[in-house]
A and B are shown apart, each in its own frame.
Chain A
Amino acid sequence: QSALTQPASVSGSPGQSITISCTGTSSDVGGYNYVSWYQQHPGKAPKLMIYDVSKRPSGVSNRFSGSKSGNTASLTISGLQAEDEADYYCSSYTSSSTWVFGGGTKLTVL
């Protein structure tokens, strides 16, 4: 199975909004509403930020939101803060009853 496609890097200034895309196929992202997003700081385990495309786990800031259109899912972070600087990964369930991650996106807060 191929990894989902994410931009290698994105950047934004404090207070701005950024969007990270995650492109798959009709066999994964486009076929199921089981897309999730993870934040990973250096040396730490990933943290679930969004599941089921747009749902936030308890305790995750409402500055984080998710959406999907066709085979592409998106993570939007509004009111960018220095602490948001991290790597972000998307993941999706697939038609083969497997899970696949994206290649990851490095977010830099300028």
Chain B
Amino acid sequence: QVQLQESGPGLVKPSETLSLTCAVSGYSISSGYYWGWIRQPPGKGLEWIGSIYHSGSTYYNPSLKSRVTISVDTSKNQFSLKLSSVTAADTAVYYCARHHRGFDYWGQGTLVTVSS
């Protein structure tokens, strides 16, 4: 059974960098699929942030591209998100997910609040 688990600080100060990690179990990241990050501000809809292919190629939402970096650590079977220069508008539940033609496995989500 594929499982994903997000981890990272729940509180980030404005202008700082948000960093999250997604640990994957039950499947080797290097075996295939895209591995993505999606966020959901409180009471709002889903927004795709970006994804990394198992080969290491990255794809980012154009509206966030200048601030986002997604990387993978195959030795630890995990991938990470960095979002720089955060503001209150970046407050959201952040999900990691596996996808190809659909996002089929999701983490439980982690709430990140941007506040001083």
Contact = CB atoms under 8 A, between A and B. Distances in A.
Interface of A: 1, 3, 34, 36, 38, 40, 45-48, 50-52, 57, 89, 91, 93, 96-104
Interface string B80-91: 000000000000
Nearest to B106: A45
B104 A89 contact: no
A89 B51 CA distance: 19
B108 to A, nearest CB: 6
Contact of A100 (B48, B51, B103): B48
Main secondary structure on B side of the interface with A: strand
Contact of B63 (A1, A57, A91, A99): A1
A52 B99 CA distance: 12
A97 B47 CA distance: 15
Given A47-B106, A57-B104, A89-B45, 4 more contacts: A34-B101, A51-B101, A99-B51, A103-B45
Interface string B34-75: 001010000001111001000000011111000000000000
B106 A52 contact: no
Contacts of A97: 59
B79 interface: no
Contacts of A57: 102, 104
Nearest to A90: B46
Contacts of A102: 45
Given A45-B95, A45-B108, A51 B48 contact: no
B46 A46 contact: yes
